[in-house]
Amino acid sequence: MRGKAEKVIKLLEAEYPDEVKTSLHWNTSLDLLVATILSAQSTDKQINKVTEVLFKKYHTAADYAYTPREQLEEDIRSSGFYKRKAKYIQEICSILVEEYDGEVPASMEGLTKLKGVARKTANIVLGNAFGIVEGIAVDTHVMRLSKRLGFTEQKNRDKIERDLMEIIPRDKWLPLNYLLIAHGRKVCNARKPDCDHCILNKICPAAFAFPHNKSQ
Ligand code: SF4
């Protein structure tokens, strides 16, 4: 399986040479943590529009923690689910102020202790902001493609991540997320994967399992 995984990565790297890191815009680790929280159930493009204005106003964890909740909600309204996200951001930033001197912890343990921060977000922040790669960020694209490609049969994100870490070389853990997202968006989407035109169709066990694909 390792050999197959390496082949998949090689093909995806050739197809998407620029997809090696997050497309969210950020300057500081705090920016990236906030942007990653905001990106849930939204698109990076939309979040970049929101943060272009947001990051000019909020520079520190204290800025987020102590601004009136309604104001923060208003400032992130177009990210979707803005009430829940504002609550998370304020809770997390309050802990950063109280326990971490306002800094984002540069460890998996520290990040995942923050309420609402799961391994997916922690992997993104650690890998992109600190150059620390401890795992593989598993989002919906990574879940779907990993199953279709036969890399896992698990449904739970953490278990999928463990399966992937077994077969993916460590130096590819960070880019894997972005390569699979790119391919998931462009070709292997949830409802209508375009197996006919997919560069992985010779090695993917799910190739042509979808009725709309004509080639068999
Ligand atoms: S062959 Fe089809 S199912 Fe497999 S990765 Fe490509 S588009 Fe997805």
Q: What is the mean pLDDT of residues 53-73?
A: 98
Domains located in the chain, CATH noted: 2-19+137-197 (1.10.1670.10), 29-130 (1.10.340.30)
Residue 71 confidence (pLDDT) above 80:
yes
- Whether residue 165 is predicted with pLDDT greater than 70 in this model: the reply is yes
Report the atom number in ligand 1 closest to the C-alpha of 183.
5
Whether residue 79 contacts residue 47, with contact meaning beta carbons closer than 8 Å, is answered with yes
Measured from CB, residues less than 6 Å from any atom of ligand 1 are 148-149, 187-188, 193-195, 198, 200-201, 204, 206-207
| Cα-to-centroid distance, 171 and ligand 1 (Å) | 24
Q: What's the pLDDT score for residue 104?
A: 98
In the reported structure, the alpha carbon of residue 186 is separated from the centroid of ligand 1 by a whole-number distance in angstroms of 11
Predicted pLDDT of residue 172: 95
What is the CB neighbour count within 10 angstroms for residue 168?
21
**Alpha carbon of residue 124 to chain centroid:** 6
pLDDT value of residue 214: 63
Q: What is the largest CA-CA distance in the chain?
A: 59
Read off the pLDDT of each residue in 187-208 and give the average, rounded to a whole number. Answer: 93
Distance 194 CA to ligand 1 centre (A): 7
